[in-house]
Structure 1
Amino acid sequence: MNKSELIDSVAGKTGVSKAKTAEVLDALMATVKESMAKSEPVQLIGFGTFEVTERAAREGRNPATGAAMKIAAKKVVKFKVGKALADVVAAAKPAKKK
Structure 2
Amino acid sequence: MSKTELIGRMAEAAGISREQAKLAFESVTDQIGQRLKDGKDVRIVGFGSFFVSERAAGKARNPRTGEEIERSASRTARFRAGEGLKSLLNG
State the TM-score bracket (shorter-chain normalisation): over 0.9
Correspondence 1:37 to 2:21 = no
Question: Secondary structure at 2:87's aligned position in 1?
Answer: helix
Aligned to 2:65: 65
2:18 alignment partner in structure 1:
18
Count of aligned residue pairs for this structure pair: 91
How far the C-alpha of 1:33 sits from its partner, in A, is: 1.1
Paired position in structure 1 for 2:77: 77
Q: Which runs of 5+ in 1 are unaligned?
A: 92-98
Give how far 1:55 is off.
0.7
**TM-score, scaled relative to structure 2:** 0.92
Moved over 2 A (4+): none
Offset of residue 89 of structure 1: 1.1
- The two structures have a TM-score, normalised by structure 1, of 0.86
2:64 and 2:7 mapped to 1: Cα distance?
42
Query: 2:15 and 2:38 mapped to 1: Cα distance?
Result: 34
Task: Tell me, in whole angstroms, the C-alpha distance in 2 between the residues paired with 1:30 and 1:60.
Answer: 32
Deviation, structure 1 residue 72: 1.2
Q: What is the CA distance between 1:64 and its match in structure 2?
A: 2.1
Q: Output the CA distance in 2 between the equivalents of 1:33 and 1:77.
A: 9
Unaligned 5+ residue runs, structure 2?
none
In the TM superposition, what whole-angstrom CA distance separates every residue of 1:43-94 from its partner, at most 9, and x where no partner exists?
Answer: 1011110001111122111122212111111111110011110111123xxx
Report sequence identity in percent. Answer: 30
Secondary structure of the equivalent of 1:63? coil
- Counterpart for residue 94 of structure 1: none
